Amino acid sequence: MKFRPCIDIHNGKVKQIVGGSLKDARDQAVENFVSDQDAAFFAEFYREKGIDGGHVILLNSRDSVYYEETKRQALEALAAFPGGLQAGGGITEKNASEFLDAGASHVIVTSYVFRDGQISYENLDKLERAVGRDRLTLDLSCRKKGGEYFIVTDRWQKYTDVALSLPVLRELSSHCDEFLIHAVDVEGKARGIELPLVRLLSEMEEFPVTYAGGVGSFRDLELLKKEGNGKIDVTIGSALDLFGGPMPLEEVLAYI
């Protein structure tokens, strides 16, 4: 189990938001925290602490008036910690090299790989050929519907027809280097983790998986560690003291 830092950028600001509240219309989101510092500040902080493997996420669509500023912040963060951070948000095989050249260790992709509610193996193949399997992270963030977790796209706003299952995870793991999975319904709420999802992810043997969503206390962290058999990495956002929450980063690092 490893702590993975995050830098979420929305409307040109580093923020922590309630994941399920994100809307492209008028660039809306319920905010838990908005930083006065830019993304490069957090990247430099993580670099100085030696905390790598984190995620820089662009939360604006490419049609947003805020996109260019959000992108600028992301590129500056990647440059501040070369090789230490991954980048996601609107990535395709056409623009992936820009983020990798800026310093990203991996690109993180969801929407481009899921088209018309299904896995687009054509697009997945394009990405693999463009960046290499070892520099590709698939974001399989999901929301619960009818008792199952369905992968969601377009900044967590659209359900696909793909339910997250062990066969799906195993199939997609042959096309990428790791998974990033937000439990969107609890993302940003710091009220507890999605245990059924964690138990499913724990069945992935010897494959890197990062879970995000709902961690609000050290009890949640203990539960994640136990139910995930110590194999699942974790991202903590709103609950971290760095973002105004109650969990001191140094204690998190010591615990993990």
The confidence band for 29, taking pLDDT boundaries of 50, 70 and 90, is: confident
Check whether 24 has a pLDDT greater than 80.
no
Place of tokens 């992108």: 71
The radius of gyration computed from the CA coordinates of the chain, to the nearest angstrom, equals 17
pTM confidence score: 0.94
How far apart, in whole angstroms, are the C-alpha atoms of residue 162 and residue 152?
9
What is the per-residue pLDDT across 211-252, written as a single tens digit (0 to 9) for each? 999 999 999 999 999 999 999 999 999 999 999 999 999 999
pLDDT value of residue 154: 85
Check whether 25 has a pLDDT greater than 80.
no
Closest C-alpha to 103, from 78, 120, 124, 128: 78
Residues belonging to the chain: 256
What is the per-residue pLDDT across 36-89, written as a single tens digit (0 to 9) for each? 999 999 999 999 999 999 999 999 988 899 999 999 999 999 999 999 999 999
Q: How many CB atoms lie within 10 A of CB 79?
A: 15
Average pLDDT over residues 135-145: 96
Categorise residue 178: left if φ over 0, alpha if ψ from -120 to 50, beta otherwise: beta
Check whether 18 has a pLDDT greater than 90.
no
Burial class (CB in 10 A: 0-12, 13-18, 19+), 219: exposed
- The token duo for 39 is 């993304």
The confidence band for 19, taking pLDDT boundaries of 50, 70 and 90, is: low
Q: Report the helix count and the strand count for the chain, using DSSP H and E.
A: 8, 15
Place of tokens 């369905």: 150
